[in-house]
Structure 1
Amino acid sequence: MMTLAAEIDHNGTSPEKLLAPVLSSFWDQPESWTLDTYRRHEGYEGLRKALAMAPDDLIAYVKDSGLRGRGGAGFPTGMKWQFIPQGDGKPHYLVVNADESEPGTCKDIPLLFANPHSLIEGIVIACYAIRSSHAFIYLRGEVVPVLRRLHEAVREAYEAGYLGTNILGSGLDLELTVHAGAGAYICGEETALLDSLEGRRGQPRLRPPFPAVAGLYACPTVVNNVESIASVPAILNKGKDWFKSMGSEKSPGFTLYSLSGHVTSPGQYEAPLGITLRQLLDMSGGIRAGHRLKFWTPGGSSTPMFTEEHLDVPLDYEGVGAAGSMLGTKALQCFDETTCVVRAVTRWTEFYAHESCGKCTPCREGTYWLVQLLRDIEAGKGEMADLDKLNDIADNINGKSFCALGDGAASPIFSSLKYFREEYEQHITGKGCPFDPARSTAWADDKNTDGKNAHRGVNA
């Protein structure tokens, strides 16, 4: 796993001035996942400081730090904790959403694999703040090596007295349960996750009531992303002013950017919010040699795509939103000019159609018909009227489905038609994909029509 504290970019300039390795600061050290290594890097010091505060003061401190949820929506973490009613006589629960399933998103799993104790410490702090005595980690079940490493970290924490009864003599009792899901994208939606955790089929719940009022087992529940909770110990240990010194005014702090696709050095780049893709590409060696950037996603496949003209958009919640997309999970998928936009959008849409839980009609039916139209267009059987039909179906899904899965399926449709409508039209007029000479007549006039180089007009 790449960490960049010591990397040098292609201009010979140290990127340390731009990057902020906190969660990833010692990923490259031997046995970074162990309690001993974590303690050597001030592990559990934030917990000691938190336990010296009153729970309400702790919530206010995290709220004042400006930490926003790192799971996609960017909702203020401290405010979410504050919503939990106190003195209600009910058990309170913390549920950590580790069901990382968004195409292109790959930050929480490496974080848990390399530094699981940062999450465990954050869980203890959060549970103390919301007066919870039982927390759950809902992990994507396919990542068995991470599951095993997380179980071992939990065992170490129990043995060292950071979990269990009377934690560090504070009187806090806390049980932590690691639950492996069965592999469903919809269970990344917080209420579907809660249903799955209760043993039911993972489907979104009607809201209200919201989880803060009636969540797990109909009790007040906070659902946070892995990175959100794992960021809390550093805030407590180093101070909220230190945290606010990074990033922008409304999006303070550090975060993990997952750079993938047609880049020279993909990996996790931990930097202050507000860095640009151009800066990240400078550090990573840029787009692969001999090629140029065509389109990219700022927050995974469910966020509207960007193009080369957006290279200098600040990658924080306000900057990306103002440019017409969403920061999401900071999954920066980069595609060069060899990539067919129609094919990429088709594959994404097939994923959403497959993962739709089927509970609501707009998503269940709409994603199916989007796939049929896209497959026809890619195969050269489309008509010009299909482009408006794609847009209409996506519009009938967006904002009208039971949860955000439908919105995520519509985003690639809207944005690809906005920036690459001409490429869709080429598939229709050329009776096939211009990126595949075996199925296209779009480049029939090319001098290199031997089947090997007929597509050089696009890929050269």
Structure 2
Amino acid sequence: MTLTPVLTRYWDDPQSWTMDTYRRHDGYRALRKALTMDPDQVIQTVKDAGLRGRGGAGFPTGMKWSFIPQGTGADGVTKPHYMVVNADESEPGTCKDIPLMLSSPHALIEGIVIGSYAIRAAHAFIYVRGEVVPVLRRLQAAVAQAYEAGFLGRDILGSGYDLELIVHAGAGAYICGEETALLDSLEGRRGQPRLRPPFPAVAGLYACPTVVNNVESIASVPPIILNGTAWFRSMGSEKSPGFTLYSLSGHVRRPGQYEAPLGVTLRELLGYAGGVRAGHTVKFWTPGGSSTPLFTDAHLDVPLDYEGVASAGSMLGTKALQIFDDTTCVVRAVLRWTEFYMHESCGKCTPCREGTYWLVQLLQRIESGRGTESDLDKLLDISDTINGKSFCALGDGAASPIISSLKYFRDEYIEHVTAGGCPFDPALSTAWANGVGGESHSRSLATQDTEGVLDDGLA
């Protein structure tokens, strides 16, 4: 399977982000075509193409657009519609939307105008993670260029369609990547998930019908409108058609963005990325960011589409492929991720707020050599208390790497217990060579007062 550069085809241009470069590569031609179509026809085209959301869940984009109610409501009032782009890319390992906005912001803007026209929205928002100031500046400059060229504002290209686009900087909370927490933040409130129903398509931003889409999802719309559904479906698989960005990071020789058809395997992508570091092999990897269950070297040939990854026991998510070689301690990696989820929990629900804290305490104890084998069962018990029972998917994301790492690497967890510390720690290796450590050392450490505190708190 070969790479399919569509969104990335001109990223190597010295000034790929400019209006001139974008228009040289068919920029805004799709918008002209879309404005000659009926809005419902645009929605049907996206539905027929089979474009699925590129932000994690993989929900069909055209279907989401079709959920927006048209006409007057039961109370006789016609509410405004809103298009919101979720650009709050914050999960460890996920790194595709920020490069896209830096390299080709006009692809996103054109997709926003087409999508807003389709759902009959007069206002659109790009919600960007506030720390990425260069992205904010580039987007703001691109939006200004689009207004000047007549692609935004009143009577776009003489079609009679009006659209105002606002770039909004968030305050750096991972929870705002959850669409309803993002909407609360956009309204000026504390970013916390909302109870659903009602769903955003019915009562979203300002209690009005709202579509929330990922950056890559929206940027993929112009090529579909311009080239047609048959062209889009010629790539990928039947249920997961098209192209997408795979983000390779970690222990690979050439990390970066690889645009390929859905269904490519990690083994194929590693061929393009030069493989893992010389002298090492793949130990474990994430198919869709740190919130998805881990895979091992036995999964290198799993098709990286929504159905293939799900059937193998994980989620495609954001296609953030973090690669870890045989020098990596899986317990330490899972601990770092869990610390992140504990820190980013909004605190609204008890399972996530309390569960992530105790998961970190247990993992820290195991990693430092003070754990016991019963701690492994406690990890699974707490993960089960969180998984599927928290207010939003953050809790599920925190539990997934723990459950999957214990499934594939339970022996390594036990080794931390019996050896009295991390087997990948050079200091511990020296202690072993000097006759220190081992099971007796582990038992003596495990009897410290911290164990009693943990056991009492977790009972």
TM-score (norm 1): 0.92
Query: Does 2:315 correspond to 1:326?
Result: yes
Q: How big is the shift at 1:261? A: 0.3
In the alignment, the residues of structure 2 paired with residue 428 and residue 53 of structure 1 have an alpha-carbon distance, to the nearest angstrom, of: 65
- The equivalent residue for 1:304 is 293
**Post-superposition CA distance 1:375-424 (Å, at most 9, x none):** 00001100110000000000000000000000000000000000000000
Q: By how many angstroms is 1:48 displaced?
A: 1.0
- The whole-number CA distance in structure 2 between the counterparts of 1:37 and 1:335 is 37
Following superposition of structure 1 onto structure 2, how do residues 155-304 of structure 1 map, counting pairs within 5 Å?
Answer: 155-304=144-293
Please give the root-mean-square deviation of Cα atoms over the aligned residues, in Å.
1.2
Contact 1:432 1:440 in 2 (8 A): no
User: How far off is 1:290 after superposition?
Assistant: 1.0
> Per the alignment, in what secondary structure is the counterpart of residue 259 of structure 1?
strand
Return the match for 1:65 from 28, 49, 52.
49
Q: Which residue of 2 aligns with 1:450?
A: none
Q: Is the CA contact 1:167–1:173 (under 8 Å) kept in the aligned structure 2?
A: yes
Q: CA deviation at 1:52?
A: 1.0
Equivalent of 2:349 in 360, 384, 393: 360
- State the SS of the aligned residue for 2:83: strand
Specify the alignment match of 2:397 in structure 1. Answer: 408
What letter matches 2:58 in structure 1?
A: G
8 Å contact kept, 1:437–1:443: no
C-alpha contact (below 8 Å) 1:429/1:442 kept by paired residues:
no
The aligned counterpart of 2:123 is 134
Superimposed CA distance per residue, residues 193-233 of structure 1 (whole angstroms, 9 cap, x where no aligned partner)? 00000000000000000000000000000000000000000
Superposed displacement of residue 442, structure 1: 8.5
Q: Distance in 2 between matches of 1:80 and 1:437?
A: 52
Regions of 4+ moved over 2 Å: 439-446
Q: Tell me if structure 2 keeps the 8 A contact 1:46–1:236.
A: yes
Partner Cα distance (2:67, 2:125) in 1: 19
Q: Are residues 1:24 and 2:8 paired?
A: yes
Question: What is the match of residue 351 of structure 1?
Answer: 340
Report if the CA contact (8 A) 1:18-1:271 is conserved: yes
Structure 1 counterpart SS, 2:321: strand
Query: In structure 2, what residue type is equivalent to 1:52?
Result: T
Aligned-partner residue type, residue 68 of structure 2:
I
Partner-residue secondary structure (3-state), 1:321: helix
Q: Deviations over 1:30-79 (max 9, x none)?
A: 11000100000000111111111101111111101000000000000000
Q: State the shift of 1:445 in Å.
A: 8.0
Distance (whole Å) between structure 2 residues aligned to residue 439 and residue 127 of structure 1: 58
The letter for the 1-side match of 2:274 is: G
- Write the distance in 2 (CA, Å) between the matches of 1:230 and 1:244: 17
Q: Give, in whole Å, the separation in 2 of the partners of 1:132 and 1:270.
A: 30
By how many angstroms is 1:441 displaced? 8.0
| Corresponding residue for residue 65 of structure 2 | 81
Does the 8 Å CA contact 1:434/1:442 hold for their aligned counterparts?
no
SS of residue matched to 1:105 = coil
Secondary structure of the structure 1 residue equivalent to 2:336 = helix
Q: For residues 267-305 of structure 1, what are the alpha-carbon distances to aligned partners after superposition, in whole Å with 9 as ceiling and x for unaligned?
A: 000000000000000111100111111000000000000
Correspondent of 2:38 among 54, 67, 74: 54
* TM-fit CA distance, 1:440: 5.8
> Does the CA contact (< 8 Å) of 1:373 and 1:386 recur in 2?
yes
* AA at the equivalent of 2:152: L
Match in the other structure for 1:428: 417
Given that 1:84 and 1:213 are in contact with CA atoms closer than 8 Å, whether structure 2 keeps it comes out as yes
- Give the equivalent residue in structure 1 for 2:133: 144
Distance in 2, Cα, partners of 1:335 & 1:442: 26
Looking at structure 2, the residues matched to 82 and 169 of structure 1 have their Cα atoms a distance apart, in angstroms, of 26
> What letter corresponds to residue 128 of structure 2 in structure 1?
L
- Taking a change above 3 Å as real, the CA distance of residues 110 and 376 of structure 1, as seen in their structure-2 partners, is same
**How many residues are aligned here?**
431
**What is the identity, as a one-letter code, of the residue corresponding to 1:187?**
C
Q: Which amino acid aligns with 1:53?
A: M
Unaligned runs of 5+ in 2: 73-77, 436-459
Structure 1 spans left out of the alignment, 5+ residues: 1-16, 447-460
Paired amino acid for 1:186: I
Percent identity between the two aligned chains: 80
- Measured in 2, the distance between the counterparts of 1:380 and 1:148 equals 47
Amino acid at match of 2:102: F
Q: 1:369-384 to 2 correspondence within 5 Å? A: 369-384=358-373
- What is the rounded CA distance, in whole Å, between the counterparts of 1:420 and 1:441 in structure 2? 24
Contact 1:431 1:441 in 2 (8 A): no
User: What SS does the corresponding residue of 1:148 show, helix, strand or coil?
Assistant: helix
Residue 3 of structure 1 is matched in structure 2 by none
Residue 439 of structure 1, CA deviation: 3.6
Distance 1:220 1:61, change over 3 A: same
- Counterpart secondary structure, 1:382: coil
Query: Which letter maps to 1:82?
Result: S
TM value normalised by structure 2: 0.93
Instruction: Report the 3-state secondary structure (helix = DSSP H, G, I; strand = E; otherwise coil) of the residue aligned with 2:202.
Output: helix
SS in 1 for 2:369: coil
User: Cα distance 1:383–1:126, how it changes in 2: closer, same or farther (>3 A)?
Assistant: same
Paired letter, 1:173: D
Deviation at 1:437, TM superposition (A): 3.2
Say if 1:430 and 1:442, in contact at 8 Å, map to a contact too: no
Aligned to 2:375: 386
Separation in structure 2 between the aligned mates of residue 361 and residue 109 of structure 1, nearest angstrom: 32
Pairwise CA distance, 1:443: 4.6
